[in-house]
Amino acid sequence: MGVTTKIDTADYAAWADRLQGTNINGTTLLATDYLNHFNEVIMPIEMVPDMPDIIEDVLAWEPKIYVRHFADSMKASAMA
């Protein structure tokens, strides 16, 4: 389902240097915005014991691959 990209060591080092001071982690090369996508489901999971009716929302949540998340984010930004 996902997209796999192989990055050689030289490319990785170049990207890590370029990303200093951004919201992208220099070790994982993942943007914090993408990681927030996973936090979106954590909060409702934690609320299920007090609000069992939101279980359907939790079960309907699906992870997105990195590329898809940013494509959807750009669409949402363009519509705002």
Q: What is the pLDDT along the chain (80 residues), one digit of tens a residue?
A: 455 566 667 777 787 778 788 877 777 777 778 888 888 899 999 999 999 999 999 999 999 888 888 788 777 667 76
Count of domains forming the chain:
1
Within-domain flag for 2:
no
Q: What is the pLDDT of residue 77?
A: 66
Instruction: Specify the pTM.
Output: 0.56
* Domain, as residue range, for 59: 30-80
Within-domain flag for 78:
yes
Closest CA to 64 of 52, 74, 51, 79: 74
Within-domain flag for 7:
no
